[in-house]
Chains A and B, each alone.
Chain A
């Protein structure tokens, strides 16, 4: 009689598992392009997704083992009349089990840890032999300012980048903290006042990729969406030259941007010097940031962080 009950519960379990699996599978087919994290469009996002999936698969193995043990235990050892399962009220230790619950998870975690460390280090450096485009990003309340130090142009709430070429974003804030995030190109990095942090991204193909802030910074924060347009190298060149002839950004215009407002896109032909620390000021690219100290209105000095 018990065996029958057991079989019944098991059949239910198996059915439920099948249904769940089928659900997941069909969901898998519908992980459409809206799942931006699963549709990377550049090498950074791709390698981040790669370790994520690897870790996910290994965790799924753990989950299957734990769930199997767990469901077996709660079905088999229920306190029901006539349960014939062995009852061992004083069984409290088993050396092999007690040791393996430490060792086996540790071994499994090694398989996650090694790629984690590798990818962490490899993403901290720009790929060698490729000349990056540098864009200085400042988060303002509640908008994004992009300055191109080489091209001397600036944009608000959108950026244009060449595809297939690494872009080095140098991030800072003249506002509360935000994070700069373009999911399809790669992970986020904070923008912080008095600090500059580097983040490099690259687009594999032309296209428009949306970005957003991930750190709450006030009532207009949810409007801090922006677009990154990846175009061919040639169109990028044309774009920069035509843009260079647009109206320059004045200090007064910058001060207007500092106000707590949300604004649309805009484009400037030039911008005041020293609104941002640049590569020329000795900024290093090795993945660690630096402190920046402002003296009055103008004049900034930089203190590299230890280890950068």
Chain B
């Protein structure tokens, strides 16, 4: 046996990845992989997979790709969460080894934020923003596909860590010097840094893309103050992304340099300054939490108007408040480390700036309530999530204020009170918003409704499970329980509340199962949406058939009103009375394999660098250069969809006159 074999085996499969549960998962994954390959071959679907999906640049399909990825990641992150809660349910238990617990809370947080929340948001952006603004695609369709594949391969790189080489274990915040080689040998943290850098590049490009799309691609007549709130929130989020991700990338790259090339930016030895990392990380991190919530503010604004059968209250105020949040979001980051000795003046400043940012946030809550006021509230699943969101998010915001009270934060920082706070906003805000958007726009994306009865079951389980899980955690914080501890002794009186919390987590687990059942059942038997406007909607996407044809709008609409589609309906207009002579040839972007190949090259580069296997890394790097060159000199990037084809499609949809 050649000598490199034991080296390879030892590097790729250290004891940490040979735990029985992981081996079982390995086995399951291999079986599933073989199953998929067999199925694709048998049904001759490889071409379909490649031409229709892997090389697509259609924003509607990219939305579906994002959605699938984020639901899979929600499952993985959720299983991680249940493992954490199982370990914490009782004192001094050893459900799993401490080293594995550390990996699981790291992957749970990282996945939920970067590989579940962000792509789910991008799924909604892609699915509806072009439709809402009356456009045929995003500003840069191929860049959009590149963003997706960078995210997807970043996610794959991150996720293979637990079967090959070992997972990262320094928390989703990855504070040095613990991430340094002195304390953290092995490839885990390399995976973390590289995967986030790669996915982060994709995210930055998404930010650019949607900023330009919302600024430049709006239908004639849609001035800024006529944009639907979801489009506003997309624009603001994109701007936040643009300025938030660079500090993260820098911090990650510097940490990676410390590990791979022996630099001393943040190390313990030779005067490294770990606190600089903390500053950079939260300079990104605080805007990031708003990146994770502002899109959902947009969703809720659409949902509440549609299902209250009423125009959104205080639109200019709603716009002003998210714009204010956008600017203030860059000025609060120190509240994540009041206890790092920046001095009373700095702490007081950032405590006040944090309270300030709560004002525009609170304004939005009032405006949603006033939107329901005087309406006729239809309690669909989408609306239920919106209604649950208001009290849940209010509690999250209130506890956020308590954490901004500097002296109180000295006691609450890194305790379970903090854990409860951010889940309050991330689940009650982000996750509920995502699910609300999912139920709302699902008919538009897939052409059928999600079953409402099943949806309501999932909703109630999520809501009840949420409170049962996280209310006890506030109390645990008051009992002095700190976060990320693997286990705890009996004497502190922490066990009773922990049992309750774990029970709640499993209720949420059940909710997720119902959600998946709901999706699968509805795909098979769900009520078809034949009208294209199942909710009696207000914005332009509901003027189109479901699912939307490739070219979106046969004729670009002219917008006169804020709730454009609602106003058209009021005036008895429709977009379904197209005259044949109104239809012209349409220029459409052409599919391209480059985005997929570019993502794959980044994956190879990342994998090589993770193990410091430079030849592999160089192959990946060359691949990247080639992809960029080909893409740069590829002028054959669009095709013309003939007017006849469009007329035919519209005619079969019954939307053509004569």
Q: Given A120-B406, A121-B344, A216-B483, decide whether A177 and B411 contact each other with a Cβ distance below 8 A.
A: no
Chain A positions within 8 Å of B362 at CB level? 62, 101, 105
What residues of chain B lie closer than 8 Å to A88, measured between beta carbons?
Answer: 310, 374-375
Instruction: Tell me if A176 is interfacial: C-beta within 8 Å of chain B.
Output: yes
Given A62-B398, A87-B374, A88-B310, answer yes or no on A123-B407 (Cβ-Cβ < 8 Å). yes
Contact partners of A112 in chain B: CB under 8 A: 355, 401, 405
Measured in the bound complex, the distance between the Cα atoms of B318 and A300 in whole Å is: 55
How far, in whole Å, are A141 and B465 apart by their CA atoms in the complex?
37
8 A Cβ contacts from A69-99 to B = 69-70, 73-74, 77-79, 83, 85-94, 97-98
Chain B positions within 8 Å of A260 at CB level: 183
B166 at the interface (CB under 8 A from A): no
- Chain A to chain B: the 5 pairs with minimum beta-carbon distance, closest first: A187-B410, A34-B493, A176-B178, A288-B343, A214-B414
Contact indicator B410/A79 (Cβ below 8 Å): no
Q: B404 — nearest CB in chain A belongs to which residue?
A: A116
Check if B578 is an interface residue, CB within 8 A of chain A.
Answer: no
Q: Which residues of B contact A55 (CB under 8 A)?
A: 401-402, 405, 408
Q: Are A187 and B351 in contact (CB under 8 A)?
A: no
CA distance A101 to B178 in the complex (A): 45
B372 touches A73 (CB 8 A): yes
The 8 Å CB contact of B268, one of A52, A70, A193, A216, is A193
A35 touches B479 (CB 8 A): yes
Q: Which of B333-341, B422-430, B455-463 contacts A (4 or more CB under 8 A)?
A: B333-341
Partner of A74 from the list B372, B401, B412, B489 (CB cut-off 8 Å) is: B372
A47 neighbours in B (Cβ, 8 Å): 407
Contact of A192 with B340 in the complex, beta carbons under 8 Å: yes
**In the complex, which residue of chain A has the Cβ closest to the Cβ of B410?**
A187
Q: Is A117 part of the contact surface with B, judged by Cβ < 8 Å?
A: yes
Contact between chains at B410 and A186 (CB < 8 Å): yes
Q: Are B271 and A187 in contact (CB under 8 A)?
A: no
Docked pose: A287 CA to B338 CA in angstroms: 12
CA distance A305 to B275 in the complex (A): 13
Instruction: List CB contacts (< 8 Å) of B204-220 with chain A.
Output: none
User: Pick the contact of B486 from A59, A222, A287 — CB < 8 Å?
Assistant: A222
Q: How far is the CA of A217 from the CA of B482 in the complex (A)?
A: 12
Which of these, A45, A56, A116, A195, contacts B341 with CB under 8 Å? A195
A197 touching B405 by the CB < 8 A rule? no
Name 7 A/B residue pairs within 8 A (Cβ), A-sorted.
A51-B407, A51-B408, A69-B366, A70-B391, A106-B359, A210-B492, A289-B343
Which of chain A's residues have a CB closer than 8 A to the CB of B401?
A: 55, 59, 109, 112
A98 contacts B351, C-beta separation under 8 Å = no
- Does A206 lie at the interface of the complex (its beta carbon under 8 Å from any beta carbon of B)? no
Q: Which of A67, A120, A218 contacts B183 (CB 8 A)?
A: A218
Please report the C-alpha to C-alpha distance between residue A94 and residue B401 in the assembled complex, in whole angstroms.
Answer: 28
Interface size on B, residues (CB 8 A): 93
Contact A174 B341, beta carbon cutoff 8 Å: no
Knowing A188-B339, A190-B341, A219-B102 touch, does A176 contact B177 (C-beta < 8 A)? yes
Interface check A302, CB cutoff 8 A: no
Contact A63-B482, Cβ < 8 Å, known A109-B355, A176-B183, A197-B340 = no
For the complex, what is the distance from the CA of A34 to the CA of B407, rounded to whole Å? 21
The answer to the question of B478 belonging to the interface, with a C-beta cut-off of 8 Å to chain A, is yes
With a 10 A CB-CB cut-off, give which of B313, B343, B395, B413 has the most chain A CB atoms.
Answer: B343
**In the complex, what's the smallest C-beta–C-beta distance from A304 to chain B, in angstroms?**
11
C-alpha spacing A193/B272, complex, angstroms? 8
Q: Is the interface of A mostly helix, strand, loop or mixed?
A: mixed
Name the distance in Å between B181's Cβ and chain A's nearest Cβ.
12
* Bound complex: CA A179 to CA B98 (Å): 20
Q: Are B407 and A187 in contact (CB under 8 A)?
A: yes
B151 to nearest A CB, angstroms?
27
Which of B268, B348, B369, B485 is in CB contact (< 8 Å) with A73?
B369
Enumerate A4-44 residues with CB–CB distance to B below 8 Å.
Answer: 31-32, 34-38
Beyond the given A193-B272, A216-B102, please list 17 additional residue pairs across the A-B interface where CB-CB is below 8 A.
A35-B478, A48-B411, A52-B408, A52-B411, A67-B391, A73-B377, A78-B377, A87-B375, A94-B313, A116-B352, A174-B268, A175-B268, A187-B339, A193-B268, A218-B178, A305-B343, A307-B346
Minimum C-beta distance from A301 to chain B (A): 11
Question: B378 to chain A: which residues have CB within 8 Å?
Answer: 79
Q: Which residues of A contact B489 (CB under 8 A)?
A: 225
* Distance in angstroms between the alpha carbons of A62 and B373 in the assembled complex: 19
* Cα distance A216–B175 in the bound complex, in angstroms: 9
Whether A124 contacts B339 in the complex (CB less than 8 A), given A112-B355, A214-B483, comes out as no
**Residues in B whose Cβ lies below 8 Å from that of A63:** 394-395, 398
- For A138, the chain B residues whose CB sits under 8 A away are none
* A168-225 at interface with B (beta carbon < 8 Å): 173-177, 179, 181, 183, 186-190, 192-195, 197-198, 210, 212-222, 225
Interface contact A288-B341, CB-CB below 8 Å: yes
Q: Evaluate contact between A101 and B183: CB separation under 8 angstroms.
A: no
Chain B contacts for A117, CB-based, 8 A: 348, 351-352
B522 at the interface (CB under 8 A from A): no
Would you call B18 an interface residue if the criterion is a C-beta within 8 Å of the partner chain's C-beta atoms? no
User: Are B411 and A120 in contact (CB-based, < 8 A)?
Assistant: no
A221:B484 contact, CB within 8 angstroms: yes
The residue on B at minimum CB distance from A99 is B317
In the complex, what's the smallest C-beta–C-beta distance from A228 to chain B, in angstroms? Answer: 13
**A95 → chain B, closest Cβ, in Å?**
10
A188 touches B413 (CB 8 A): yes
Report the minimum CB–CB distance from B368 to chain A (whole Å). 9
- Docked-complex contact A192 and B274, CB < 8 angstroms: yes
CB-nearest residue of chain B to A59: B398
Write the chain A residue with the least CB distance to B184. Answer: A218
- B residues near A31, Cβ cutoff 8 Å: 478
Inter-subunit contact A119/B310 (CB<8 Å): no
Q: Which of B465-485 contact A (CB under 8 A)?
A: 475, 477-480, 482-485
* Contact present for A102 and B341 (CB under 8 Å): no
A102-B359, A120-B351, A197-B340 known; A214 vs B408 contact (CB < 8 Å): no
In the complex, the chain B residue whose C-beta lies closest to that of A71 is B391
Shortest distance from the beta carbon of A276 to any chain B beta carbon, whole Å: 15
Q: Which residue of A lies closest to B562 (CB)?
A: A92
B309 in the interface, Cβ–Cβ < 8 Å?
A: yes
Please name all residues of chain B whose beta carbon is closer than 8 Å to the beta carbon of A225 when the two chains form the complex. Answer: 489
CA distance A254 to B99 in the complex (A): 26
Complex interface: chain A residues within 8 A of B352 (CB): 113, 116-117
User: Are B340 and A190 in contact (CB-based, < 8 A)?
Assistant: yes
Report which of B312, B342, B366, B379 forms a contact with A78, defined as CB distance below 8 A.
B379
Q: Mark A142-177, 1 if CB is under 8 A from B, else 0.
A: 000000000000000000000000000000011111
